[in-house]
Each structure stands twice: as structure tokens, then as C-alpha cells.
Amino acid sequence: MTGGASGIGRATAILAACSGAHVVAGDLNEQALADLEHHARDNGLPIRTVRLDVTAAESVAEFLAVGEEPLAGVACSAGIAPDVPAFDMTLEMWNHVIAVNLTGTFLVAQAAARAMVEHGRGGSIVTVASAMGTTGAVNLAHYSASKGGIMALTKSLAREFGPHQIRVNSVSPGGINTPLYQGRMSEQKVRENIARMPLGRLGEPEDVAKCIGFLLSDLSLWITGQTINVNGGSLMSS
């Protein structure tokens, strides 16, 4: 699990561990990793934590080498979304978000697929896109582009990896109650967004984690190349 120490990544790591999987959670945030490690230890969950920079191939290789079992599934949740108007966005700002969100997803998926081919048992890779990859968003041109790219990347990898029985799918969250979401808008804006949602609430990280868990499991053996919207119907009301 990349981005595994907070938000959707943390919720997915905990759900998978509670379901019996041996989980390795990677993240750059060392304090968040320590908090997850304490939670896992206190609750007897098989979660190992490791510092991970998804933009560095060497770090990705070290992360994937931590697990003791043959790699069965990987979820790519690492991502950043700094608000910057397009007029003010520097090339450095653009490249940094693309590197973390899109290139990082590719590096992890590529390395994971190589490991799965090596052990010959197939597997599942789940990427994390965003509703903004479909609708776009003000002040998030780099983020929206990276998430739209993840949807296209998912389809391409599903085609290439399919002959090896490796499934590649994506979840596309919208309006999830995470620090990333809450930190970029006012309480009033959050309330306005909720009012437009058919289900009348923000999603919780666990709502997305359950979909990721389904795609990682054998329950989805005949599903690949898909992007599943997990947004309480908000994309319909955009």
C-alpha cells in the first residue's frame, strides 16, 4: 500500500490486514507511519511500515522487497494536491505533482507487475484516480491532469499485464473526508459540496478502502482495465 499511512491508504491497509492479508504500508510521512505501526501493534494487525518515496525507483524496489509472501496485490494511493492557479504554476510545481501522482503510480505498478510475473501467480494492481481527473478543477490543473493520466495508464497496463493474469483497475474517489480534502477548502465550501451530493454526506476513507479491497481480492477476478467511481453520486451532480 503506497500512501499507506494516512487517508485512503491507511484505511485500506487496516482493512486488508483485518481481512487476513500481510500488509506493507509505505509513506514519506514518518510520523504517520509510526502512528500506523503503533495502531497495528496495539490491535495485533500484520502491518509492516516502511519509508517510501514513490518518485525514486530504488525506494520503490526496497518497498516491494519488504514483504515475506509472494506479492499478490498492490494499491497505489500516494498523492499530493497543492492548490496553485494555472497562471502562477511553475514548471517545478507541475513536475513535482506529476512525478508523485502519475510517475510514482507507474513506477510502483511496473515494479509490482515484474514481481508478479516472476512468481507466476498473477495478481491485482489498484491505482487511485480522482473525480477531478474527469471534471477538472480550479487551481488543480497539475493534480487533475495526473489523475486523468492515471485512468489512461490503468487501461494501458491492464492490456499489457493481462496475459500474465495481472489485473489493473482504478478507483476514482470524490468528496472523501481526508486531510487532503478538508485542508484545501473552507467549511462553507465543504457544506455546499455535501448539499449537492445525492447521498448527502462526504465519503469516508473506509468507503474507498472497501472498493479497493474488492478489486484486490478474488471477488474481482474477471474485472480489469476499469475505473470505478466512489463518490456518493457526486459526479452526477457536478
Q: What is the CATH number of the domain that holds 129?
A: 3.40.50.720
Q: Please check whether residue 74 lies inside any domain of the structure.
A: yes
Query: Residue 224 corresponds to which cell in the numbers above?
Result: 480489469
Is 80 exceeded by the pLDDT of residue 178? no
What pLDDT sits at residue 180?
A: 67
Between CA 152 and CA 168 the distance in angstroms is: 11
Q: Please check whether residue 108 lies inside any domain of the structure.
A: yes
What pLDDT sits at residue 237?
A: 58
Give the mean model confidence (pLDDT) for residues 189-211.
Answer: 91
Give the mean model confidence (pLDDT) for residues 135-163.
Answer: 97
What pLDDT sits at residue 193?
A: 84
Query: With contact defined as beta carbons under 8 Å apart, do 107 and 156 qualify?
Result: no
Q: Please check whether residue 14 lies inside any domain of the structure.
A: no
Give the mean model confidence (pLDDT) for residues 44-55.
Answer: 98
- Its domain, for residue 183, covers 54-61+70-237
Task: Tell me, letter by letter, the H, E, C secondary structure of the chain.
Answer: CECCCCHHHHHHHHHHHHCCCCEEEEECCHHHHHHHHHHHHHCCCCEEEEECCCCCHHHHHHHHCCCCCCCCEEEECCCCCCCCCHHHCCHHHHHHHHHHHHHHHHHHHHHHHHHHHHHCCCEEEEEECCCHHHHCCCCCHHHHHHHHHHHHHHHHHHHHHHHHCEEEEEEEECCECCHHHHCCCCHHHHHHHHHHCCCCCCECHHHHHHHHHHHHCHHHCCCCCCEEEECCCHHHHC
Q: Please check whether residue 210 lies inside any domain of the structure.
A: yes
| Amino acid at position 76, single letter | C
Q: Please check whether residue 167 lies inside any domain of the structure.
A: yes
Please say whether the dihedral angle defined by the alpha carbons of residues 80, 83, 84 and 86, taken in this order, is positive or negative.
positive
Q: Please check whether residue 206 lies inside any domain of the structure.
A: yes
Place of cell 465550501: 189
Q: Please check whether residue 182 lies inside any domain of the structure.
A: yes
CA atoms within 13 A on the CB side of 102: 18
Catalytically annotated residues: 143
Is 60 exceeded by the pLDDT of residue 174? yes
Q: Please check whether residue 36 lies inside any domain of the structure.
A: no
Give the mean model confidence (pLDDT) for residues 230-234.
Answer: 91
- pLDDT above 70 covers what percent of the chain? 98
Tell me the pLDDT of the chain averaged across its residues.
95
Please write the tens of the pLDDT for every residue from 84-133: 999 999 999 999 999 999 999 999 999 999 999 999 999 999 999 999 99
As for how many domains the chain has, the answer is 1
Place of cell 484516480: 129
Is 80 exceeded by the pLDDT of residue 65? yes
- pLDDT above 90 covers what percent of the chain? 86
